[in-house]
Amino acid sequence: MASRPRLSRRALLGAGGAGVLAGAAGLLAARAGDEPAHADPGVVAFHGPHQAGIATPVQDRLHFAAFDLTTDDPARVAALLRAWTEAAAAMTRGAPVGDGAVDGVPLAPPDDTGEALGLPASRLTLTVGFGPSLFTKLGLEDQRPKALVDLPHFPGDNLDTARSGGDLCVQACADDPQVAVHAVRNLARIGFGTVSVRWSQLGFGKTSSTTPDSQTPRNMMGFKDGTANIPGTDAGLLDAHVWVAAGDGAAWMAGGSYLVARRIRMHIETWDRTSLTEQEQVIGRSKGEGAGPGRSREHDPVILAKMAPDAHVRLAHPDSNAGARLLRRGYSFTDGTDGLGRLDAGLFFLAYQRDVSEGFVKVQSNLRTDRLNEYIQHVGSGVYAIPPGVREGGFWGDTLFAKFA
């Protein structure tokens, strides 16, 4: 991609005007000049040692999709990952998919579906992962990282297989949902014949922040969520808890991470009829400010001993979990109503970690007595190996798939 002109969707439309963009033949034919890469603050660099969308400051909106392979041929998967990489590099800099010219092929479908034309890059990031089932389907069991464990059954789990698992996943985050939806849709379109969408989830509002200086967003329970998250700027904590190190096991995963996704339904009608005192005791922080008991400000260190033994913040705290920490970047969702007139709403939990057993499994196991469990239910689940970032000229997952390409 590096040799391509860096045209953006906006520049493309702006340069068009009456003449160039008037008819079918002119669509997408305009090219902007030599835009410096990533000079736009709305562009997050696609290439790098780690995939974007993990330590990146959390964008406002999410579209997450899990895919199933319809092939068992690693070469076809390698080709798909290369095509996806090319499209992702374009979309994340605000450019349409394809080479920007459809001249002479009006009888072909457009390379880009078009609904994001004219929209800026909106800090779009695309992050790809591989589920445990991918290794089985492709006969690559020997390459499956030990740190990518199957999640155990946790008490209270009520998982819907139609919203769980998947051979691959794509996390699309952007400040504009139209940009995130456009990206997933175009990857699905490119993948036709190799993958099909297994399930997808729209997140309308970020919860956890990875930028501690900004306002901590609130989840659907009305509480600030992510006060003590791992900052995306803290290289030491990221290396300790998020990025896979060279000596951690599967060599191809160095620089990668592991993602646990959980669709957590909140019983918000019940929660909304719970007293403020009860809500605050369940969480372990005050609702308005987000301060722990005996503290006055959100970012004052919490005193676990002052919380109820079954308070959520207490049980999830690193001090209660031998230091285990997760980088969370979850999103609120609402997907209409269930059959009982209740909003189908909650938290789509996304957490990155260096080792699943030492991360999510450890913390979630400690939450078995969490008082919050009365108000939530885990209804979807996925776990994925997130390969390292893409070098210029490389492709997603090439540390594993290059030999098949």
Q: Which of residues 149-188 bind its own copies (CB under 8 A)?
A: 162-163, 176-178, 181, 185, 188
Cβ-based burial of 141 (10 A; exposed 0-12, middle 13-18, buried ≥19) = exposed
Judged by CB under 8 A, the residue of 69, 89, 90, 116 near its own copies is 116
Closest CA relative to residue 7, chosen from 30, 32, 29: 32
Of the candidate spans 232-240, 251-259, 285-293, 349-357, the one that interacts with its own copies by CB under 8 A turns out to be: 285-293
Residues 358-397 that bind its own copies (CB under 8 A): none
Which one, 112 or 358, has the nearer CB to its own copies?
A: 112
**Using CB under 8 A, which residues numbered 320 to 359 contact its own copies?**
332, 334-337, 339, 341-343, 345
Of the residues 1, 15, 16, 240, which one makes contact with its own copies according to CB under 8 A? 16
Judged by CB under 8 A, which stretch of 77-85, 266-274, 321-329, 390-398 contacts its own copies? 266-274
73 burial type by CB count under 10 A (0-12 exposed, 13-18 middle, 19+ buried): middle
Q: Are 59 and 206 in contact (CB under 8 A)?
A: yes
**Does 26 contact its own copies by CB under 8 A?**
yes
Cβ atoms < 10 Å from Cβ of 296: 9
Which span sits near its own copies by CB under 8 A: 74-82, 87-95, 189-197, 363-371?
189-197
By CB under 8 A, is residue 277 in contact with its own copies? yes
Of the residues 71, 83, 101, 113, which one makes contact with its own copies according to CB under 8 A = 113
Name every residue whose Cβ is closer than 8 Å to that of residue 142 and which is 6 or more positions away in sequence. Answer: none
Q: Give the integer Cα–Cα distance in Å for 349 and 310.
A: 20
Which SS3 state, helix, strand or coil, does residue 19 take?
helix
202 binds its own copies (CB under 8 A): yes
Rounded to the nearest 10 degrees, the angle between the axes of helix 177-190 and helix 74-92 is 150
Out of 149, 197, 254, 379, point to the residue binding its own copies (CB under 8 A): 197
Closest to its own copies by CB, 27 or 259: 27
Comparing CB distances to its own copies, the nearer of 280 and 358 is: 280
- Give residues 224-253 in contact with its own copies (rule: CB under 8 A): none
The strand pairing partners of 258, in sequence order, are 353, 385
* Phi-psi domain of 24 (left: phi exceeds 0; alpha: psi -120 through 50; beta: other): alpha
